């Protein structure tokens, strides 16, 4: 039973059941009672009733959205901590109106960069198909694609995109990039050549997305863009699902208009069991693993505990405006 003398802290969506192992929660146990939930519950009466008793909510990225409609029904809520430095699934204005602080954590960029290159290499060398072939007694059924001399297109040459570009140079790839506000100087500093959006899709042999999701960027990559890609090209999205017109991506893959794609992010996460992207040919699909590494989780949960402790002590850290 919850202790009435302690603040009630909920850790949400701990899929792997590791939250308590990756940080020293004992530093707040004298003032807080921590409850961990491993599953995601969509906005519903069930979710409202689950969260209603809690003073503090600890969110793992965007797994459980926190819209105004939910915030308004949580009378005990006093603090929200989200992993990473921003979370578009939280209604910050609704929290501010109630005087509820929103804190974030630090986050590493290398896990997403590493996963992106894992997916690029897996596509280029048909690793999933060939591994399954080995299990079923077959041998060498495909021919891989070389990275050296190929063109890598990057949509979004920020911190992540620039790290992607540095790895590409080691493979001997030509790197081109586009985003709405990218300049020639910033592109060159990031190790790429700035091109137009149309040129990005027309010229890329591998095209990877690293744009930030915002109301203005939803659907920024659509059917016309994907339709410009070469039949031999590959499309990779480890950023956010809503950046890409999902129906358009499904269509180009079903029609064989590009060689293949990899997706780590989706419009709805997790996607329903019968979701087309779970079974689509030519698609290498992974369950949003971009940030899921031991070191990153340690950073997330360590900082979460620090945020709670600082708030209890009256000196909030890592506040998100």
The CATH number covering residue 155 comes to 3.40.50.720
Query: Does 268 share its domain with 304?
Result: no
Ordered alpha helix ranges (H), 125-189: 127-135, 159-170, 184-189
Query: Does 209 share its domain with 251?
Result: yes
Q: Which of 6, 19, 16 is nearest to 58 (CA)?
A: 19
- Which tens digits make up the pLDDT trace of 118-145? 999 999 999 999 999 999 999 999 999 9
Of the pLDDT bands very low, low, confident and very high (cuts 50, 70, 90), residue 3 is low
Query: Does 132 share its domain with 246?
Result: yes
Instruction: Judge whether 319 lies within some domain.
Output: no
Return d(Cα 11, Cα 276) in angstroms, integer: 31
**Active site (catalytic) residues:** 240, 269, 288
Write down the pTM of the prediction: 0.93
For the chain, the domain total comes to: 2
- Which tens digits make up the pLDDT trace of 264-283? 999 999 999 999 999 999 99
Q: Is the peptide bond before 270 cis (omega within 30 degrees of 0)?
A: yes
Query: Does 233 share its domain with 222?
Result: yes
Instruction: Judge whether 321 lies within some domain.
Output: no
Instruction: Judge whether 317 lies within some domain.
Output: no
Query: Does 104 share its domain with 123?
Result: no
Question: Which residues lie below 8 Å from residue 168, measured CB to CB, with a gap of 6+?
Answer: 147, 152, 175, 191
Q: What share of the chain is helix, strand, coil (3-state, %, to 5)?
A: 35, 15, 50
């Amino acid at each position: 039973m919850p202790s009435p003398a302690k603040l009630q802290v909920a850790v949400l969506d701990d899929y792997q059941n590791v939250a308590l192992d990756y940080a020293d929660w004992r530093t707040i146990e004298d003032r807080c009672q921590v409850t961990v939930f491993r599953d995601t519950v969509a906005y519903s009466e069930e979710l409202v009733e689950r969260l209603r008793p809690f003073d503090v909510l600890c969110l793992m990225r965007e797994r459980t959205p926190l819209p105004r409609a939910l915030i308004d029904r949580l009378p005990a809520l006093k603090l929200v901590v989200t992993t990473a430095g921003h979370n578009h699934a939280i209604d910050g204005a609704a929290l501010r109106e109630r005087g509820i602080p929103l804190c974030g954590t630090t986050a590493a960029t290398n896990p997403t960069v590493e996963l992106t290159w894992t997916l690029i290499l897996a596509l280029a060398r048909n690793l999933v198909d060939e591994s399954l072939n080995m299990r079923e007694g077959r041998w060498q059924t495909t021919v891989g694609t070389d990275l050296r001399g190929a063109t890598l297109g990057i949509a979004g040459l920020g911190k992540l995109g620039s790290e992607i570009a540095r790895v590409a140079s080691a493979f001997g790839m030509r790197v081109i990039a586009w985003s709405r506000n990218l300049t020639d100087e910033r592109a060159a500093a990031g190790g790429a050549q700035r091109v137009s959006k149309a040129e990005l899709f027309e010229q890329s042999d591998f095209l990877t997305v690293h744009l930030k999701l915002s109301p203005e960027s939803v659907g920024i990559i659509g059917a016309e863009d994907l339709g410009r890609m070469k039949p031999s090209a590959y499309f990779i999205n480890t950023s956010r699902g809503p950046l890409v017109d999902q129906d358009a991506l499904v269509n180009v893959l079903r029609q064989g208009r590009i060689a293949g794609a990899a997706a780590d992010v989706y419009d709805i996460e997790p996607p329903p069991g019968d979701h087309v992207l779970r079974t689509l040919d030519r698609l290498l699909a992974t369950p949003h693993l971009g940030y899921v590494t031991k070191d990153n989780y340690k950073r997330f949960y360590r900082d979460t505990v620090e945020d709670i402790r600082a708030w209890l002590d009256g000196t909030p850290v890592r506040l998100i405006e």
